[in-house]
């Protein structure tokens, strides 16, 4: 018996720990194209901003692999999987046999067709090596262009501001983080960015990256030129399914899995950002690209790989994101649909904004800007599909809390 995992991030660690609940001895092999022990990807912006050191980024202790009888093969790229012969084929044609396989290759940056991408000082923002390279270019007083006002793009911007870099953000959309923010929330966050000297160029695109060997600027669609010393591409992430391309495994945008994280191929599981897990709020299988879900998916896969019984249910999107001191938390659905009504509480003088998305007397999502108290309660209401009709009027108010709920419901939640 041999467990093999492709990927060395949160989902793989969850899978190892899931396996070890039922199988203490069978060897596990982890394959990763990165040379580092498992580390927390969300911390790369804090590393770039000087808030954490590299040794504080590791997701588990130095003895994790040895303690769990794991053989890490780091800095080794897996090229493809031979499902018929149950082998993972590495870049040097070495073949690693498996009895049970987990695919946890995560996401990969979306890179649009753009002239000049091959120039030096054009970086992605997804891995530790990316930010190590950016660090060398992001010296005090340098000029950066960040293409994309996404979640990762704004975290890159925050780190660059902390390094006293002059930052310009360019995005084709009319507002930052359009999947999460509405116009009001985007305006609040944009104001904070601009207060820190960030220039936002929205509703436009980059036609070309300028320079000879290295990027020296970008040309926009209107012909205007923005000079810079380096560029960060932050246009979003796609499921990294390259390793199983043309293999016959069932894929949509990501690898399709059931609630036990099984793929369409026997003895093959997938978890984390490469997979499409069940989002119970949307009632659909889709990518749920956040750390807690990746871990839970991996743990679920590991338990089932080892012969246990586990199911991944009630997954949904949630993000906690401070932007230069402005706290932002969102969860669940984030857009208005025919079956969704909203409740908004806005205090312009405090830059405080709360928006709740309600479907059939149930909380289906929320957005909190600059007032994130009770986010845990709101998340619990979503996860437990709680009927909020008895206290919907007080939802989000200053005095809202467990005491706002009926006594029976309050007792049940306290006991849980």
Is the domain of 228 the same as that of 242? no
Q: Enter the tokens of residue 304.
A: 């089932």
**Number of neighbours of residue 245 by Cβ within 10 angstroms:** 9
Is the domain of 134 the same as that of 213? yes
Q: Which of 233, 249, 278 is where one domain is finished?
A: 233
Q: Which of 233, 256, 288 is where one domain is finished?
A: 233
Q: Which domain holds residue 185?
A: 122-233
Q: What is the pLDDT of residue 415?
A: 58
Q: What would the pLDDT profile of 22-72 be if each residue is shown by its tens digit?
A: 999 999 999 999 999 999 998 999 999 999 999 999 989 989 999 999 999
CA distance linking residue 337 with residue 42, whole number of Å: 30
163 in any annotated domain? yes
Is the domain of 156 the same as that of 92? no
Q: What is the pLDDT of residue 317?
A: 84
141 in any annotated domain? yes
Q: What would the pLDDT profile of 319-346 be if each residue is shown by its tens digit?
A: 888 999 999 999 988 877 778 999 999 9
319 in any annotated domain? no
Residue 48, domain CATH = 3.50.50.60
Total domains in the chain come to: 3
pTM of the model: 0.91
Is the domain of 145 the same as that of 198? yes
| 3 state SS of 38 | coil
| 3 state SS of 305 | helix
Residues of the chain with pLDDT under 50: none
Is the domain of 250 the same as that of 180? no
CA distance linking residue 39 with residue 259, whole number of Å: 26
Q: Which of 175, 209, 233 is where one domain is finished?
A: 233
Q: What is the pLDDT of residue 366?
A: 95
- Rg of the chain over Cα atoms, rounded to whole angstroms, equals 23
């Amino acid at each position: 018996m041999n467990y093999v995992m492709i990927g060395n991030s949160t989902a793989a660690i969850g899978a190892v720990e899931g396996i070890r609940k039922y199988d203490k001895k069978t060897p596990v092999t982890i394959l990763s194209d990165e040379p580092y022990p498992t580390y927390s990807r969300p911390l790369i912006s804090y590393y770039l901003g000087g808030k954490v050191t590299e040794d504080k980024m590791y997701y588990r202790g130095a003895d994790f692999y040895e303690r769990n009888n794991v053989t890490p093969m780091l800095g080794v790229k897996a090229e493809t999987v031979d499902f018929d012969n149950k082998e993972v084929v590495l870049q040097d044609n070495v073949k690693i046999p498996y009895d049970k396989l987990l695919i946890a290759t995560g996401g990969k940056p979306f890179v649009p067709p753009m002239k000049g991408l091959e120039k030096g000082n054009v970086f992605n923002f997804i891995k530790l090596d990316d930010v190590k390279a950016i660090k060398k270019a992001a010296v005090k007083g340098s000029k950066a262009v960040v293409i994309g006002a996404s979640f990762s793009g704004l975290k890159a911007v925050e780190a660059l501001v902390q390094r006293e870099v002059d930052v310009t953000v360019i995005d084709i959309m009319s507002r930052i983080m359009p999947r999460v923010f509405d116009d009001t929330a985007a305006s609040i966050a944009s104001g904070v960015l601009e207060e820190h000297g960030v220039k936002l160029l929205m509703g436009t695109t980059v036609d070309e990256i300028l320079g000879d060997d290295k990027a020296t600027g970008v040309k926009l669609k209107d012909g205007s030129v923005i000079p810079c010393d380096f560029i960060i591409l932050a246009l979003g992430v796609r499921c990294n399914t390259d390793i199983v391309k043309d293999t016959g495994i069932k894929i949509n945008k990501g690898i399709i899995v059931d609630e036990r994280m099984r793929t369409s191929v026997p003895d093959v599981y997938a978890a984390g950002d490469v997979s499409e897990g069940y989002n119970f709020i949307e009632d659909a299988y889709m990518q749920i690209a956040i750390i807690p879900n990746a871990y839970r998916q991996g743990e679920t896969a590991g338990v089932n790989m080892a012969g246990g019984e586990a199911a991944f249910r009630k997954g949904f999107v949630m993000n906690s994101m401070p932007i230069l001191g402005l706290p932002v938390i969102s969860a669940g659905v984030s857009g208005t649909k025919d079956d969704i009504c909203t409740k908004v509480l806005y205090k312009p003088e405090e830059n405080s904004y709360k928006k709740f998305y309600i479907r059939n007397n149930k909380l289906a999502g929320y957005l909190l800007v600059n007032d994130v108290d009770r986010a845990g309660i709101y998340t619990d209401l979503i996860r437990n599909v709680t009927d909020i009709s008895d206290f919907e009027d007080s939802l989000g108010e200053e005095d809202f809390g467990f005491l706002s709920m009926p006594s029976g419901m309050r007792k049940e939640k306290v006991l849980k």
